[in-house]
Structure 1
Amino acid sequence: MLTIQNLYKRFGNLVAVDDFNLHVEQGETVVLMGPSGCGKSTTIRTINRLVEPDSGIITVSGTEITGLTTEELRRVRKRIGFVFQQFNLIGRLTAVENVMLGLVMDGIPREVAYDKAIEALTKVGLENRAEHKSAEMSGGQQQRVGIARALAFEPELMLWDEPTASLDPILVREVLVIMEELAKYRASTMLVVTHEISFAIHVADRIVLMDKGRIVEEGIPETVFGSPVSHVGEQYKELIEYQQITNARTLTGKNIV
């Protein structure tokens, strides 16, 4: 479904992505993790060429992305949903108007676009907020509008670039629940960049760990987090164990010294 071969991207003297290779099957949910600055976001942004790769081959459902013209790329992007760290909503528009805008600009009649937008908002539990503007919604709700906007085109591939990074911790869960539901029903293939370990454990078919622009480990969550073979994997394992100890002590009323 998605194949990335020998991907390479440099910014000045910084090599952000270095000989990156990955294949994602149809309907698979793959979570991309690693320390900040390891190249995760750059990698995912090259897939629909928000960032232009220096070299490598990216193929989505048989279409080679890196060789497309601007017009060809515009058509292919309709099949690729992208959820950003920032909400990127237009403040003067309502939720439904934000979701339907891309559809209308693509030539879909407003009535049809409206129905598709309402359907997408319903999938993220916001049909009752359709006529609300950004200022009238919480950060979590705004991000869910951003997800609905991506879903409106019924994409075959969904890309998520740390979608909870801009949210207050108390609002993170409502977005993760939506993502878990979408992954469970296999509406599309998903490649997710995130630091949310609990989400990765519960939802990912496969974890891919990156460090310094390269893949250092991949496998099912139980193996990567339970018996890691990389330094990054060991760090995640230690973090999970620490969280488990902290949770256990909290439940028993003991404080960590």
Structure 2
Amino acid sequence: MLRIENLHKQFGDLAAVDGLNLQVGRGETVVMMGPSGCGKSTTIRTVNRLVEPDRGRIMFGDIDITKLNADELMAVRKKIGFVFQQFNLIHRLTALENVMLGLVMDGMPREIARAKAGAALIKVGLDKHFQHKPGEMSGGQQQRVGIARALAFEPELMLWDEPTASLDPILVREVLVVMEELAKYRASTMLVVTHELSFALHVADRIVLMNKGRVVEEGVPTQVFVKPQSSIGEQYKELIEYQMNTSALTLAGKRIA
């Protein structure tokens, strides 16, 4: 489905992505994790060339995305959904209109676009919010509109760039539930950049750990987080153990009380 080979991206003196190699199989959910600034978001944004790579190949099926001209790239982007950190909704439009917009601009008849947009909103649990504008919805609901907007194109590949990063902690769960459902039913192949350990543990087929622009470890969650082979993996293992111990102490305290 997706194969990244020897990818490089430099910003001034900073090597944001430094010879990265990655493969994602059809129907697979791959989660990319690592410290802030390690190159995760830059990597995922090169896949549909929101960031132009300096060199390397990005193969989507048998298509080298790095070789496409502007028209060819636009055609391929219709097959690749992208969910951003920010919601990027148009505030004067309703949820339904926000999801329809890209379809209509792509030449789809309005009634067909309306039906597809409605189906996508239902899929993310917003069947009662078709006519709500962004200002009338919570942050979690707005992000779900953004997810529906991507799903409406029925993409083969979904890219997620820290989709919960802009949300208050109390709203994070509602977005993660939608992502988990999509992963469960293999609606599309998913490459996810996130700091959400619970999502990675429960949903990922494979974890990819990055540091300083490179992949330092990858494998199934039980391998990477239980018997890590990298210093980054060790840090995640310690964090998971700390969170488990904290939860256990909290539960014990409640029983005593």
TM-score of the superposed pair, with normalisation by structure 2: 0.98
1:115 offset after TM fit, Å?
Answer: 0.4
> What is the deviation of 1:62?
1.3
Instruction: Specify the alignment match of 1:242 in structure 2.
Output: 242
1:53 partnered with 2:58: no
Per the TM alignment, residue 222 of structure 1 is displaced from its structure 2 partner at its CA by 0.2
What's the offset of the Cα at 1:72? 0.4
Aligned to 2:85: 85
Note the alpha carbon deviations across 1:112-140, whole angstroms, 9 max, x for none: 00000000000000011010000000000
Shift of 1:187: 1.0
Whether 1:44 aligns to 2:52 is no
Q: 3-state DSSP class of the match of 1:183?
A: helix
Question: Counterpart of 2:226 in structure 1: which amino acid?
Answer: G
State the match for 1:134 in structure 2. Answer: 134
Task: Report the Cα offset of residue 63 of structure 1.
Answer: 1.0
1:105 aligned residue: 105
Q: Distance in 1 between matches of 2:5 and 2:82?
A: 21
Say whether residues 1:64 and 2:64 are aligned partners: yes
Listed one character per residue, the Cα deviations across residues 148-167 of structure 1 (whole Å, up to 9, x for unaligned) are 00000000000000000000
Q: Distance in 2 between matches of 1:104 and 1:82?
A: 18
Query: Where do residues 115-130 of structure 1 align in structure 2 (5 Å cutoff)?
Result: 115-130=115-130
The amino acid of 1:135's aligned partner reads G
1:150-191 deviations in whole A, cap 9, x for unaligned? 000000000000000000000000000000000000010000
Distance (whole Å) between structure 2 residues aligned to residue 15 and residue 223 of structure 1:
28
2:128 is paired with a residue whose SS is helix
Deviation at 1:85, TM superposition (A): 0.2
1:64-113 CA distance string (max 9 Å, x none): 10000000000000000000000000000000000000000000001100
CA distance in structure 2 between the partners assigned to 1:37 and 1:47 by the alignment: 18
Structure 2: runs of 5 or more not aligned: none
Q: 2:127, 2:55 → 1: CA distance?
A: 43
Counterpart residue identity of residue 127, structure 1: D
Per the alignment, residue 253 of structure 2 pairs with 253
Inter-partner Cα distance in structure 1 for 2:72 and 2:183: 28
CA distance in structure 1 between the aligned counterparts of 2:60 and 2:153, rounded to whole angstroms: 16
Corresponding residue for 2:232? 232
CA distance in 2, matches of 1:61, 1:7: 17
Could you list the runs of 4 or more consecutive aligned residues of structure 1 that deviate by over 6 angstroms after TM superposition? none
| Aligned equivalent of 1:219 | 219
Aligned-partner Cα distance in 2 for 1:82–1:103? 15
Where 2:56 maps in the other structure, the secondary structure is: strand
Question: Which structure 2 residues correspond to residues 186-225 of structure 1 after superposition, within 5 A?
Answer: 186-225=186-225
* Distance in 1 separating the partners of 2:20 and 2:222: 23
Quote how far apart the aligned CAs of 1:42 are: 0.1
Identity of aligned residues (%): 76
Amino acid of the structure 1 residue aligned with 2:63: T
The offset of 1:30, in angstroms, is 0.2
Could you tell me the TM-score, scaled by structure 1's length? 0.98
Q: Secondary structure at the match of 1:99?
A: helix
